Amino acid sequence: NGYKKTWDTFGVVRGSQFPDEIVIIGGHRDAWGPGTADNVSGTVSVLEAAQAIAEEVRAGRPPKRTIIFATWDAEEWGLLGSTEFVEEDTTRLMKSAVAYLNQDDVAQGPNFSGGGSPSLRALLRDIAKDIPDPSREGSVYEVWRKRAHLAADTAEPSMGDPGGGSDFAGFYNHLGIPIAEWGFGGAGG
């Protein structure tokens, strides 16, 4: 049989103040190889984010905006899961999507990096300032700066521009929705 069914999965938490504004956090479940880094790490990241938000909701602190947690199928086969979602929900996404946060290959080493739309870079840097680095040598941001060998206090670690080849493509390249992605990289294997 030349056809296979694919499945995207979703969890939705409705926003308390801006329910019609949507933030999507997603990662693909399929992999070419053993897949621990690419992309079990991204899937776990999406699930951990969902769990953290669920705890906040139970504590009476729901998010202001609606959050969609997504795991995509068939990313390795041409971004099929996320692309189908974007194509089927274009009108709502163009009207309401605030950002797409991509979780792809987020844990493969000790070196933090991030990238995405220029409009989200300052936010990503600010968040990295508040997260302790696993090395225990300071915040993620401080270690990121050290590893980038930045001398000037005003210099920022470099951040990559969105390209293609991951699930943000439909959101960013076709609909212009701002995206961000981040993770810890290093030598493969």
Enumerate the active-site residues: 75
Residue 173, exposed/middle/buried by CB under 10 A (0-12, 13-18, 19+)?
A: middle
Residue 20 near residue 91 (C-beta atoms within 8 A): no
Instruction: Give the SS3 label for residue 19.
Output: strand
Residue 182 near residue 114 (C-beta atoms within 8 A): yes
What is the C-alpha separation between 185 and 37, in angstroms, rounded?
A: 9
What is the C-alpha separation between 25 and 107, in angstroms, rounded?
A: 16
